[in-house]
A and B are shown apart, each in its own frame.
Chain A
Amino acid sequence: MHYNNNAARIKRELLIQLIQLVLEDRLVEGIDRIPYAMTSEPGYQPVRCCVHHDRSILKSRILARLGFSVEDYEDDGTPLSVYAQKALERNHIEGPILTVLDEACNACVKTQFLVTNACQGCLARPCMMNCPKKAVSVVDGRAIIDKERCVNCGICQQVCPYHAIIKIPVPCEEACPVGAIYKDSRGKERIDYDKCIFCGNCMRECPFGAMMDKSQIIDVLLAKKRGAKLAALFAPAVAGQFRASLGKLVRALKQAGFDAVYEVARGADITAEKEARELQERLAAGAAFMTTSCCPAYVEVAHKHVPELAPYVSHTRSPMHYTAELASQEHPEYRRVFIGPCLAKRKEGLADPLVDYVISVEELGALFVALGIDVAEIDEEPITRPATAAGRGFAWSGGVAQAVLEHLPDKKGTIQTATIDGLSRESIKELQAWAKGKTAGQLLEVMACAGGCVAGPSVITNPKVALMQLKKLVQEAQPS
């Protein structure tokens, strides 16, 4: 779905308002007003049947922003303030990291092909002639598709000279590369967590904003209020999200309440170095190839869906982990907050004892707005321990393999790299082929998001713009 859409705007508006209330210590008093304040402007056009339905759905959206699962939520008249209080008393983060808002879920009809009025009932009738299941017939001068026989192959759509046949997809199911989304008995979508790889595609693609991540920003703000010191660990992709230098971003994070700030690109430097060593060892031991391991959604794919590939996944830990290690050595008492564009990192963070919270770029952006911080207008903070250009390049497709290669200068020419740029049903087949020996190199870089982390599911900036910004920053980095 296009990056600029109303579902994303509503989510960010909610985040900004919630954060403002927390910062003002007025969350419990103010929270019940939000759905009304957001729908009371003159000229407000309801999205659903009426403004009351919109408000009711906003209530559930707020619950996800507070960090709650909403599958079992029923509006029994309990005000949001009760949930706000519960969030304020919470001490730990709980999975699953995704939640489905049934009331927003459109219960889209099962994927189907439909003949529209544009059908001319033509003489050639390629739809009818080419349907392998004989599901198409022409009645009263117009093609019709027998749903019982149709297997959704799409041939009729491809061959219609009038483009009269359309596909009506279920966007979340179509976006899911691993078939983890299914309909329950009421037609509402459910996530099978045994299959889910937490890539975030469904969240990005649902036109009703029904697939939601659970925010952790309230927990971070609360930790600060309770007196904890915070270390921000910002992912390489975050640097391209604001139109400002790295020094300004670091200072902005400090103004936003983080007591120490770490570039995760420094952890990426460690990952690249270790992965280079591991690759050499594996190849020396006779392995045909190795894959990268920094993309947590890919690691989930390898373990859950292509188990024969799992032995080839590098054992080197991710840049997040190594950066958390650096932070824990310097400031063991600080709470470590990873900030990134990624949903799967929330899952990785839950499993990593060195990472306390994982927040999204959306949440960080909302925090800046709530605090009135304009990153570009902030003074520069000197970057005392910069990452290399290669470490900063982990954010785009090809950047990780490149960084690993830079640690193997004497192997240039002998080690071939390949990339899988985005996980889809097709690219997972490619992964299966690698596992079966159909390899195209010795180092395979896999990124779940096409384009790399700059195109993650929780970014705020158009990936094309973000990539330009990031490349500019990388050029400023020291040569690696």
Chain B
Amino acid sequence: MKELPMYQHKTVKVVVCSGTACYVMGGSELLLLDDHIPSRWKGHVELEGSPCLGFCKNKTQGKAPFAIVDGEVLSEATIPGILKKIEEKLGET
């Protein structure tokens, strides 16, 4: 019998900041994450748009746009960057 992938019972939560600062720096793009999720991950990634998460107010956090993947903050977030992080969190790498 084929072994089930490790993430069978895990869900990774992705929170995309939709505050104005993140939007101005291109953050809206990240809300299309679902279009880029590979089918084997379906059901294991939960996407949520959030009001301003406040990271833009603290320069040490890096630059907008921001996203949180499984509790970890990504600055200058991009779709490929988020996908890579999800992959890591699901234990695929």
Q: Give A contacts to B, CB under 8 Å.
A: 3-4, 8-9, 12-13, 16, 241-243, 362, 365-366, 368-369, 373-377, 460-462, 464-466
A–B Cβ pairs within 8 angstroms, 21 of them: A3-B26, A3-B29, A4-B78, A12-B25, A13-B25, A241-B23, A243-B18, A365-B23, A365-B24, A366-B24, A373-B20, A374-B20, A376-B51, A377-B52, A460-B23, A460-B24, A460-B26, A460-B28, A462-B28, A462-B29, A466-B28
Question: Majority SS of interface residues in chain B?
Answer: helix
| Count of A-B contacts judged by CB separation below 8 Å | 62
Which residues on the A side are within 8 Å of B20 (C-beta)? 242, 365, 368-369, 373-376
CA distance A374 to B24 in the complex (A): 11
Which residues on the B side are within 8 Å of A368 (C-beta)? 20, 24
Closest to B62 in A: A41
Q: A4 with B26: in contact, given A374-B52, A376-B19, A464-B32 (CB under 8 Å)? A: yes
Closest to A240 in B: B28
Contact A12 B24 (CB under 8 A): yes
Which residues on the B side are within 8 Å of A4 (C-beta)? 26, 29, 78-79
Write the B1-29 contact mask toward A (1 if CB under 8 angstroms, else 0).
00000000000000000111101111011
Contact B26 A242 (CB under 8 A): no
Which residues on the B side are within 8 Å of A8 (C-beta)? 26
Which residues on the B side are within 8 Å of A242 (C-beta)? 20, 23
Contact A243 B23 (CB under 8 A): yes
Chain B contact residue count (CB 8 A cutoff):
18
Which residues on the A side are within 8 Å of B21 (C-beta)? 369, 374
Q: How far does the Cβ of A158 sit from chain B's closest Cβ, in whole Å?
A: 29
> Looking at the complex, which one of A13, A366, A376, A461 makes contact with B28 (CB distance below 8 Å)?
A461
Which residues on the A side are within 8 Å of B18 (C-beta)? 243, 376
Q: Give B contacts to A, CB under 8 Å.
A: 18-21, 23-26, 28-29, 31-32, 49, 51-52, 56, 78-79
Which residues on the B side are within 8 Å of A369 (C-beta)? 20-21, 24, 56
CA distance A375 to B31 in the complex (A): 17
Closest to B64 in A: A369
CA distance A465 to B79 in the complex (A): 14
Closest to A241 in B: B23
Which residues on the A side are within 8 Å of B56 (C-beta)? 369
CA distance A310 to B10 in the complex (A): 62
Contact B28 A465 (CB under 8 A): yes
Closest to A372 in B: B57
CA distance A12 to B26 in the complex (A): 10
> Looking at the complex, which one of A362, A376, A377, A465 makes contact with B32 (CB distance below 8 Å)?
A465
Which residues on the B side are within 8 Å of A374 (C-beta)? 19-21, 51-52
Closest 10 CB pairs of A and B: A365-B24, A461-B28, A243-B18, A465-B28, A4-B26, A374-B52, A4-B29, A462-B28, A374-B20, A462-B29
Interface centre among A3, A243, A375 (most CB of B within 10 A): A243
Contact A376 B25 (CB under 8 A): no
Q: How far does the Cβ of A220 sit from chain B's closest Cβ, in whole Å?
A: 17
Interface centre among B18, B21, B23, B24 (most CB of A within 10 A): B24
Which residues on the B side are within 8 Å of A3 (C-beta)? 26, 29
Q: How far does the Cβ of A344 sit from chain B's closest Cβ, in whole Å?
A: 22
Q: A9 with B26: in contact, given A242-B20, A374-B21, A464-B32 (CB under 8 Å)? A: yes
User: Known pairs A374-B52, A375-B20. 17 more at Cβ < 8 A?
Assistant: A8-B26, A242-B20, A242-B23, A243-B28, A368-B24, A373-B20, A374-B19, A374-B21, A376-B18, A377-B51, A377-B52, A460-B23, A460-B28, A461-B28, A462-B28, A462-B31, A462-B32
